[in-house]
Amino acid sequence: MKSLVKVKALLTSNPHNPSGRIIPKETLIEYGKFCEKHDIHFISDEIYALSTFANRDIPHPIEFISASSIDWECYGVNPFRIHVLVGASKDFGSCGLRVGSLISTNQNLVKAMLSSSLLMKLSSPADRLFRGILTDRPWLEWYIKENQKRLGESYNKVTEWCINMGIPYEKASAGFFILVDLRKWLPSHNKIGQKLSTQIEQLNELNKRMLDNKVLANPATAYHHPVVGYYRLTHSLYPEIQQLGLDRLEKTLKEIV
């Protein structure tokens, strides 16, 4: 049956959440060509753009390329259908302070958004904080490099723990999380011995056992991952908190197997 819903845009996250992978420039161009062919818009969410890093698994990651930096007309794509979203909450660890921008050459879209939303207004604390950050160029350059270095270090520590625990994981070079495969540890029974007949029941039981040990990890299904049993594990924590979380998660998994 033909769908009654008309697709109007292709939305992607680059770097990708939750895989932590950078989308190559060649792939972005193909996305743009696809949108041109089907007369739809291309929206690139680049909220993790500055959180890329080298690590033991990927010592030379591919360069992040913003969709806003591509000369789309050279590839037969109308730049009016390309839109980029950027924000400060992830790269600057400030999820409670909402600061973001839409980058688009499509004036019709910009005018429509200005007429229906107060998109230009920031809270006073966010305005004061990020005005200082963005105008202090030496500090900003230091911060970006230092943040990327520390992300690489924390990634290496958590993936080394995964290797020692025998936990498969997806190699990443961006963001502050790792996709880990915990399907081996999905319990077949709950704590009182009742059989868990579905993967969702098993997933909920594993979540409960994690919480019992005071550790929280988000199932990747919450980010539309198709496989039950994958988790998005955040690694960008203070070393002592990171180690405490790993110890608690290890305790949880060893109680199951």
Query: What is the β-pairing status of strands 82-87 and 41-45?
Result: parallel
Domains and CATH numbers, the chain: 9-137 (3.40.640.10), 139-255 (3.90.1150.10)
Cα–Cα dist 94/243, whole Å = 23
Give the mean pLDDT of 18-40: 97
pLDDT on residue 94: 87
How many residues are recorded in the chain?
Answer: 257
- pLDDT, tens only, 81-115: 999 999 998 999 888 888 888 999 999 998 888 88
Q: Decide if pLDDT at 4 tops 80.
A: no
The closest of 157, 171, 165 to 241, measured between CA atoms, is: 157
Give the H/E segment covering residue 102.
strand 100-104
Percent over 90 (pLDDT), the chain:
84
Cα–Cα dist 219/229, whole Å = 7
- Which residue's structure tokens are 């007429």? 115
- pLDDT, tens only, 170-202: 999 999 999 999 999 999 999 999 999 999 999
